Homo-oligomer: A and B are copies of this chain.
Amino acid sequence: MTVSQSDLVLDADAQDLLFRDARTANTFSDEPVTDEQVQAIYDLVKWAPTSMNQQPLRIVLLRSEEAKQRLLPHLMEGNRAKTEKAPLVAILAADTEFHENLPRVFPHSPGAKDIFADPGFREQNAKLNATLQTAYFFLGVRAAGLAVGPMTGLNAGGINAEFFPDGRQQTLVVANIGKPGENAWMERLPRLDYDEVVTTL
């Protein structure tokens, strides 16, 4: 089977920016990430799909030294120094009460909110869809010419207790954001072959 870029419509520069050249960054330059950049990212990625337009992703941006210090003890030790130095740190979390917005964001289906009366089913939906939105957000960060350094080596329960004491939001991933610094990344790691991932029936 021949694979060709001509099977894609997205132009090669955009492919490189979002996927081929983009890398997980472990160091960052001092250049700040502005609120305007984050808003432009959100205004792009908000259009990507979630089940029944749930939109459960919530983002806490840590800019102040004080806010970052509240996070660091809950990260795996190897993730602390790079997070302390990153221009911007984002906690990506799922809002388990997303269903309260459904009458407004899924207005043609008045009973939509009631489908999610069960807290377990709600949490499962919130996590699945907020994780999809987390991935959209990562690509949005790259669309803004920035690098993202996602981390799952963390104590989610500790972060939840510190930042979401009412229990409504659940931490999924923490991500450092900025322009890449010196020696920002490791060598490119191998990816699985198509035939290891895709089966056709």
A-to-B contact residues, CB < 8 Å: 1-5, 7-11, 13-15, 17-20, 22, 24, 34-49, 51, 53, 55, 57-64, 66-67, 101, 104-108, 125, 128-129, 131-136, 138-139, 142-145, 148, 150, 152-153, 172-173, 186, 189-192, 194, 196-201
Contacts and interface: CB of A to CB of B under 8 A. Distances in A.
A15 B143 contact: yes
A14 B7 contact: no
A125 B152 contact: yes
A153 B38 CA distance: 32
A53 B189 contact: yes
A200 B53 CA distance: 24
A104 B41 contact: no
A35 B53 CA distance: 30
A67 B62 CA distance: 48
A38 B8 CA distance: 10
A120 to B, nearest CB: 14
Contact of A35 (B1, B15, B45, B128): B1
A134 B97 CA distance: 23
B9 A145 contact: yes
A42 B197 contact: yes
Nearest to A38: B198
Contact of A40 (B3, B40, B55, B200): B3
14 contacts: A1-B36, A3-B40, A5-B40, A7-B37, A7-B39, A7-B144, A14-B14, A14-B143, A42-B194, A51-B150, A60-B201, A61-B198, A67-B201, A131-B131
